[in-house]
């Protein structure tokens, strides 16, 4: 099965380099313009996180397709870091500890990284099972969601941060139920 992963377009929070997880931001005008100018591959079905930025991106890219939203694909809950950027957090002891852990510590009053990854992978697996009659599925989701799925399934193997993608970018892949092979970067 062909699986396309696209990270949503830029929001104001992305432009300001903020941790935007559960904040339900719309695309910025810059994000809209960038998505509108880019060419994306066709697909049979479009699946999205329920967050505005993903739905808006999916609708811009695939205006003639129904966008199916699935719970579990949303970005991580960054807890106390939500809505803040490095400059606002750089003196916060919790943030310093989180950085020193390589991002492995849970976010204070937010989501545990391992729970987040498990949630994203389970939502992806459920979606693929539910729509297995289709030849190609496009997931318009969050960077962390893509990274979680790719860390679990991509070959060659890589760690979570090896699969970072910029806004409006992603991967065209082939998924055989056990591994994801990247065919092309978007």
Residue 36's H or E segment, with its range, is helix 29-37
Contact (CB, 8 A) for 141 and 5 = yes
* Tokens linked to 3: 């699986």
**Domain boundaries, given as residue ranges, for the chain:** 2-185
Check residue 180 and give its pLDDT.
97
In the CATH scheme, what is the code of domain 2-185?
3.40.50.1240
DSSP per residue, 88-149: HHTT-HHHHHHHHTTS-SPPTTS--HHHHHHHHHHHHHHHHHHTTTSSEEEEEE-HHHHHHH
Check residue 111 and give its pLDDT.
93
Check residue 103 and give its pLDDT.
83
Contact (CB, 8 A) for 15 and 168 = no
**Tens of pLDDT along the chain (186 residues)?**
999 999 999 999 999 999 999 999 999 999 999 999 999 999 999 999 999 999 999 999 999 999 999 999 999 999 999 999 999 999 999 999 999 998 888 999 999 999 999 999 999 999 999 999 999 999 999 999 999 999 999 999 999 999 999 999 999 999 999 999 999 999
Q: Which pTM was predicted?
A: 0.95
Check residue 21 and give its pLDDT.
94
User: Over the range 106-132, which residues count as b (16 or more CB within 10 Å of their CB) and which as e?
Assistant: bbeebbbbeebbebbbebbeebbeebe
Q: Residue 139's beta-bridge partner residues?
A: 5, 47
């Amino acid at each position: 099965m062909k699986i396309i992963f696209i990270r949503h377009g830029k929001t104001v929070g992305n432009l300001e380099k903020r941790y935007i997880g559960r904040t339900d931001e719309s695309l910025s005008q810059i994000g809209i313009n960038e998505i509108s100018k880019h060419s994306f591959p066709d697909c049979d079905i479009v699946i999205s996180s329920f967050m505005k930025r993903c739905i808006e991106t999916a609708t811009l890219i695939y205006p003639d397709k129904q966008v199916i939203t699935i719970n579990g694909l949303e970005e991580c809950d960054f807890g106390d870091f939500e809505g803040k950027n490095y400059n606002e957090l750089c003196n916060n002891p919790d943030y310093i500890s989180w950085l020193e852990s390589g991002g492995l510590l849970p976010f204070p009053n937010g989501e545990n990284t391992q729970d987040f990854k498990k949630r994203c992978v389970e939502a992806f697996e459920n979606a693929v099972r539910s729509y297995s009659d289709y030849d190609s599925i496009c997931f318009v989701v969050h960077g962390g969601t893509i990274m979680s799925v790719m860390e679990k399934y991509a070959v060659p193997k890589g760690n979570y941060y090896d699969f970072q993608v910029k806004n409006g970018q992603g991967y065209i892949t082939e998924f055989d139920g056990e591994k994801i092979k990247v065919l092309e970067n978007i």
